[in-house]
Amino acid sequence: MFKHIQWLEKVIEVASGNQNVVIFGCGSSGRRTLAFLVEKEVNVVAFSDNNSDKWGQVINDIKVVPPHELQTNYKNSLVIISSQWSKEINEQLNSLEVRNKLIFSYDDSVVSNLEPIEQVYNMLSDDDSRSAFEGVMLYRLTRNPDDLFVAPYQQYFHPHVQPVEHETVIDGGAFIGDTVKKFMDKQSGNLRIYSFEPCKDTFEKLTSFIKENQLGQVVTPIGEGLADKRNFAYLNKRNPKNPAGYRIVNNSSEVTEDIRINSLDNIVDEFQIKRIDLIKLDIEGSELVAILGAEQTIKKHAPKLQICLYHKPKDIFELPLLIEEMFKEHRYTYYFGHHHRGPWETVLYAIPAKR
């Protein structure tokens, strides 16, 4: 049985078997966990939290108590840690000699989608991929980084799915040229790369990088975002300290930038690109529409794929299933890599049978 299912069943069994339960963490994760436990008819008697400003508050009819009360007033209760800081809180509770505890954060993307998650697991081609996939699923329920299986290879350099000399690469989400540099260093510059970056400021840095490194003959920067059609869109720039995390939103505001988007199918025609060997997509939640907009290109060229799966909760199973459904004729082999001690940098690697 899958680790995340085993853990989910254990949480329900243990929580149901305890007369009283305290949830440690009264943020959004704790509140989702409360709703789940109440639905399972578990008796939640209190929240606890390290934020003293919350002590004494009542959230959804549940009082928030300081952690030290767990030693006295709630010493016979089960404590369920529901926080992104679960590992640290677990150590804190050990120091308080709170032994009756477990870690669980309700995540609807896991709990409500066990069937498609199992489908993707069964698509994966090796033990490392399956371990990494299970690790991410379990991490979503525990927020414990120790549950993650971090890939032994560098991101975008899976042993079977990476650029090789003289290939043509689509770099979706080029940022300032970080991936271009890694690819070029690995293959001594013997690649042809089309790099997509819709943010104007970041695109200027990308073009400067290309010029400074004399890559103009082999790297073509394109100031558009990848999508399913040619259009205009809004880029949310709310956090200027993290420009790599800018993403497309539906409405304009004082923190958005007007950008152009286009489908890869259109770009291939406009630039008369003759071959495509690898497509990498790290485009902040637009991966699904970009795949739809690359349908004819992928069907024609059967490229290797490197698709980020962590920007939206359901991407981790929806995108692999979409690719398998759309491009069955290529008989892709799928690998799964996780490259961070947190919820980010999860990548689907796929290679068609003919390669």
> In whole angstroms, what is the distance from residue 81 CA to residue 300 CA?
50
The encoded tokens of residue 40 equal: 């399972």
Looking at residue 251, what is its pLDDT?
77
131 plus 67 within the same structural domain? no
Boundary (domain end) residue, out of 106, 128, 161: 106
**Which pLDDT value is given to residue 254?**
77
Residue 36, domain CATH:
3.40.50.720
Q: Are residues 193 and 257 in the same domain?
A: yes
The stretches in the chain having pLDDT less than 50 are none
pLDDT score recorded for residue 2: 84
Shared-domain flag, residues 66 and 123: no
Residues 71 and 166 in one domain: no
Q: Give the pLDDT confidence score for residue 80 in this predicted structure.
A: 98
Residue 197: alpha-carbon gap to chain centroid: 20
Residues 172-181 have pLDDT tens digits of: 999 999 999 9
98 & 139 share domain: no
DSSP E strands: which ranges in 212-281? 219-222, 225-227, 231-236, 247-249, 256-263, 278-281
Domain that holds residue 195: 115-351
Spatial distance between the Cα atoms of 191 and 261, rounded to a whole number of angstroms: 25
pLDDT number for residue 101? 96
Judging by beta carbons within 10 Å of its beta carbon (0-12, 13-18, 19+), is residue 235 exposed, middle or buried? Answer: buried
Residue 212 pLDDT: 97
97 and 123 fall within a common domain:
no
pLDDT of residue 248: 79
Residue carrying the six token digits 């199973």: 317
Query: What does residue 354 show for φ and ψ, rounded to 5 degrees?
Result: -75, -10
Co-location of 99 and 122 in the same domain: no
Instruction: Give the per-residue pLDDT at 1.
Output: 59
Domain containing residue 252: CATH number = 3.40.50.150
Q: How far is CA 86 from the centre of its chain?
A: 19
> Can you read off the two tokens belonging to residue 37?
């436990």
Residues 97 and 224 in one domain: no
pLDDT score of 189: 79
Q: What is the pLDDT of residue 66?
A: 98
Comparing CA positions, the residue from 174, 188, 187, 176 lying closest to residue 284 is 174
- Based on the fold, state whether residues 74 and 187 are members of the same structural domain: no
Last residue of a domain, one of 106, 127, 158: 106
